[in-house]
Amino acid sequence: MGESAAETKIANATLCRRRGVSAAGQLDSGERGMGRATAMMGPAHSLSGAAAWLGVGAAAAAAGHPMPWPVLLAGALICAGAALAPDLDHKAATISRAFGPVSRWLCEIVDKLSYAVYKATRKPGDPRRSGGHRTLTHTWLWAVLIGSGTAVLAITGGRWAVLAILFVHMVLAIEGLLWRATRGSSSDVLVWLLAATSAWILAGILDQPGSGADWLFTEPGQEYLWLGLPIVLGALVHDIGDALTVSGCPILWPIPVGRKRWYPVGPPKAMRFRAGSWVELRVLMPVFMLLGGVGCAAALNVI
């Protein structure tokens, strides 16, 4: 290969990394082998997760159960991080890079597990596939199980379990919301340090009387039980976002629909979009920001 061709290839690869696109032209969460980007990008998922929790904060305030501001802030960040977690079944997703070799290894395991579950439960109408992306981890059942497991861990594991939950989701929130600043392996340590510091500070604030450790669940021993809620919400918001893209999302599994158990839920084909298209970048992401701002203001009784 000539020098100029090699330089062009390197420049293209660098541009792709900066934009969150693989060298093959796939976006961050795109499904391999399909020749097109089919899943929402990480930043849009994180923004939608944060906006969803802020909306819950507004609804809670209207219902007479206002969130203390630490719960609103921590929940929004957790939900933003949890909105990336369903892509744990995809080795090219943001979450696969978030914790170095550990997350890449975990993604491989979840991908194989998801594929095994898909093969074992598919009905005649479900297509054959070669991987587990957008199957098990993109269902309502997975969201509920992960959220419930996190809630149990939070109330039984003590302070260090709460810190671990906060740290993991702070890392994912930073990777999703500050995606331009976190590109490249050299930034990983800085992201982890920022996430650890944020988790420690938030846990310290939440532990103070009246700051939210016992929000919504007030019985003794139920402190931090609410941590499961933003995780469930984040996963479901991710699934709904993917359902709006060209391939739909099997949110309803294991409930069968016709001849399919992995029915790809979504709007009519004409209303769907491709990841990274102008609809996502210029319409949905600004809308998420606006809704999040309005929800935050309402939750804090500013409006």
- Determine contact, residues 39/275, Cβ cutoff 8 Å: yes
Residues with Cβ within 8 Å of residue 121, at least 6 apart in sequence? 253, 254, 261, 262
What residue has token string 């305030």? Answer: 61
**Residue at 250: amino acid letter:** P
Q: Which residue from 90, 117, 118, 115 is spatially nearest to 104, judged by alpha carbons? A: 90
pLDDT of residue 138: 96
* Distance (Å, whole) CA 148 – CA 286: 31
Percent residues over pLDDT 70 in the chain: 84
pLDDT, average across residues 75-102: 91
- pLDDT tens, residue by residue, 121-135: 999 999 998 888 899
Collapsing DSSP to helix, strand or coil, 7 comes out as: helix
- The answer to whether residue 31 scores a pLDDT higher than 60 is no
For 128, counting Cβ atoms within 10 Å of its Cβ (0-12 exposed, 13-18 middle, 19+ buried), the class is: exposed
* Distance (Å, whole) CA 277 – CA 150: 34
Read off the pTM.
0.83
pLDDT band at 40 (very low <50, low <70, confident <90, very high): low
Tell me the torsion sign for CA atoms 157, 162, 168, 173: positive
pLDDT of residue 97: 85
Token code pair at residue 133: 């992306």
Collapsing DSSP to helix, strand or coil, 260 comes out as: strand
- pLDDT tens, residue by residue, 218-230: 888 899 999 999 9
pLDDT of residue 126: 94
pLDDT, average across residues 146-153: 96
